[in-house]
Structure formats: C-alpha cells, structure tokens
Homo-oligomer: A and B are copies of this chain.
Amino acid sequence: MTGYFDHIDPIKFEGSDSDNPLAFKYYDPKKVVMGKTIEEHLRVAVCYWHTFCWDGADVFGGGPFNRPWHGGKNDQAAADAKLDAAFDFFDRLGQPFFCFHDVDVMAEAETPKEHVENFAQIVDKIEAKMAQHSTKLLWGTANLFSHPRYMAGAATNPNPDVTAFAALQVQQCLEATHKFGGAGYVLWGGREGYDTILNTNVGQEMQQLGRFLSMVVEHKHKIGFKGDIWIEPKPHEPTKHQYDRDVGTVFGFLKEYGLENEVGVNIEPNHATLAGNSFEHEVEMANAFGIFGSIDFNRGDPQNGWDTDQFPNDLRETTLALYYILKGGGFKNGGSNFDAKVRRQSCDAEDLFYGHIGGMDLLARALINAAEMIENDELQAFKDARYAGWKSGSGAKVLSGNMTLEGFAAEALRDNASPKPVSGRQEKLENYISNHVK
C-alpha cells in the first residue's frame, strides 16, 4: 500500500549550512545542552488534530487538503488510515511524542455506548502501534467542544446530562492516557464560558467547573495515574468569554477549589496574546504560582484577533520563554506540543513537514540561546542587585509579616528622604537579549 508520506524521506539534522528545506538546521536531538540532550529538554510533540484531522476548512470556505482519509464519513476505516499515516509521519519527522483528543483518533460516535465502543477499538490499535514505534504520548485530552451537544458547555452546561456525557468521555480518555503511559492529561474548556452573559448563571457555572475538575483529580488518583493534570487557559473563542482566561485567572480558580497543588497549566502563546499577555509573562506567572506544566507552542498574528495557531517563528519570544522555562527547572512531565496548523493554502503533504521542521529548529535555537543566557546569568544578577534592599532590615520584615503599616511609615518619616529614581536599564537589558538571540 502506498502511504501519503512515502515521498518524504526521514528528516535528518544537516546543520545550519544546509539549504535542504526538508532537513533540520538546528534541531540536533542528541546534542547536549546544560547536561541534557535537546530532545530530552524540549520533549517535542506533534498534535493529532491540526496535523491529521483538519481538512483546511475555515469559516469562509471548505477544505482543500484532501488527505486520503478525508472526504467520506469518519468511520473506523478512516480512523485506521489516519492512524497509519500518523505513525508514518512520526517516524519520518522523528519527534519523541504526540498528543491527541479522543474524537481525533476514533470513528465518529453519537451515543455514549458507541463512544465507548469506538474509542475502545482505536485504543487497542494505538497501543499496538506504540508497541511497534518509538513515539510516546505526551498527553491526551477529551474533545468536549466540537459536538453540538456541547454548544452550551460541557462541565458548565445548563443540562447535567450533557455534563454526564462529558464525564464519560473524560473518564475514558484519562484511562486511555494512563494505559498509553502518557505524561499528562489536559483540559481545555473551549465552551466553558458563555456566548452571552444574559442567559448564563456565571456563579453556578464556575462551581460546576470546579466540581468537575475536582472529580477528574479524584479519578486520576483512584486509577493511579502518575502524570499531571493541566488546564489550558484561553480568554475566548469560540465563546465570547471563557472562564479559564489566563494563568492568573486559572490560579484564582484553583485556589478557590483547593486544587493549586493538583493541577497545573498548559500555556499556549496564541492564547496568551489573545488574553493581552505576552508568552513569557504567562510562563513567569506560572513559575511564580508554582503551576507551570506544559506548552502548546504556536503563534498568533498580531494584526488578527483570533486564534491563528501558526507554527512559531519568533526567535526572540521563544528564547525568552525557554529562558524562563529553564529557570523554573525545565519541563518535567510537560513538553513542547505544536498546537499549530499549516495555513489553508499549504495543502500538500510536505507542508506538514515544513511547518514542524521550522518549529523544531526554532525551539532548538531558542534552547541553545537560553542556555547560554543562563550560563552567565546577567538578568538574574541584575535583578539580585536591584532587589537587594528587601533581603534585610525593614524590607525583610515586611516580607515575613513582621512589620506594620504604621511602623514602616514611621521609618520613612524618621529618615525624611525622597528616594531618588534609579534607572531600570530596560534598553541595556533588551540589547543583552538581542545579542543572545542568534
């Protein structure tokens, strides 16, 4: 049988002088950086949905991709063909991980029973595939947003029967993720929000979401899944408003339900920017709150206000993000999933390779840059000096809770000085970054 990717040779590392567009120029998986290989640091994953399921359709037009498994009904035969193609793609690209939604991999199902049966069928086949190939599972997730039954939310649906269906999907998918040895499990609440606040009981919906998440955590422990659970923040789209808006909002939500030590975040740059935050900000906030988990690497378009999910190509932004990730200890169970899709006009099999090669080369360059910044960590040194005053004296007392407003105010009055402005040296630090982005 002829495979869809047969005409693409396995992608090799050829170095930055190569002008072979189907080779890696920077992603040298075995190269050691800060004591680990690039492959071990980045833990790159290919996502099933954009890469194998999407047919190129957008809101204004039909899909031009015409993959062999597209066109007809998404039945078991189509699911099987897709699975074969997926692992063939993984073999040729050589990345260590993949990610999936339940509905990405299975034959379409309408009822709960069908769902369980169809999912079980493909789970066995995936297990068999994984036994024959080296690609591992980074994380799994249940799609609780595409079927019309979820149009008003899954955990936050006004109808608890819909939430029960969602519970079934999550149970099945979490257990499959466990069986596959996945490192994590993700919940993106694509419809957990509202299209209009007019018909929405915001307070109760947040409570439904909190309880649902708690049940998922309980089930994880019950089945002995040792991987992590991550929420993926996004501010809106398809909803007008999504409850898991950004890292700060998710942290408040986790605190409210006592889950801040159980659940982390899967950060997506395009979601960060839609929420009005920079990518590095979201990483650093997650570090500060102790909830950093994994990354869905991609990029948005700064002139377009929707989730474009493009392959990342901003070396400066990615270098900074990886700097903060490494400073936080690097990926543990998490990794670098490309939640990115080739453009609608990129309709050929090789375009899928160009997208991933560009992304992996970018991550490798950024990792090397970030590691170099950490070796001789001028940013850290600058900050250590800048905040030194808080290490002792009244500053330290404030931080440890041993100072009153009155007492602190009295010191200002006693010293009677107006502290002089001290340069924040932003441009100097920005130049330092520029000189490390290469």
Query: Quick check: is A5 within 8 A (CB to CB) of the other chain?
Result: no
Tell me if A164 and B427 are in contact (CB < 8 A): no
Most chain B beta-carbon contacts within 10 A, residue among A249, A314, A315, A431: A431
Most chain B beta-carbon contacts within 10 A, residue among A246, A347, A427: A427
Tell me if A408 and B238 are in contact (CB < 8 A): no
Q: Which of A40-48, A75-83, A126-134, A397-405 contacts B (4 or more CB under 8 A)?
A: A397-405
Contacts of A374 in B (CB 8 A): none
Query: Quick check: is A368 within 8 A (CB to CB) of the other chain?
Result: no
Tell me if A170 and B60 are in contact (CB < 8 A): no
Query: Quick check: is A333 within 8 A (CB to CB) of the other chain?
Result: no
Known contacts A59-B58, A430-B358; decide if A409 and B168 are in contact (CB<8 Å). Answer: yes
Tell me if B21 and A161 are in contact (CB < 8 A): no
Tell me if B405 and A216 are in contact (CB < 8 A): yes
State the number of copies, please: 4
Complex-state Cα separation, A395 to B211, whole angstroms: 11
Query: Chain A 141-177, CB within 8 Å of chain B: the 1/0 string?
Result: 0000111111110000011111111011011100000
Inter-chain pairs besides A198-B379, A345-B426, 16 sampled, C-beta below 8 Å? A61-B147, A61-B191, A151-B421, A159-B419, A168-B412, A171-B405, A171-B406, A197-B278, A198-B426, A199-B383, A201-B386, A203-B288, A248-B248, A252-B255, A278-B303, A358-B431
Tell me if B171 and A423 are in contact (CB < 8 A): no
A interface residues, tally (CB under 8 Å):
159
Contacts of A206 in B (CB 8 A): 288
Known contacts A58-B59, A345-B152; decide if A412 and B276 are in contact (CB<8 Å). Answer: no
Tell me if A399 and B306 are in contact (CB < 8 A): no
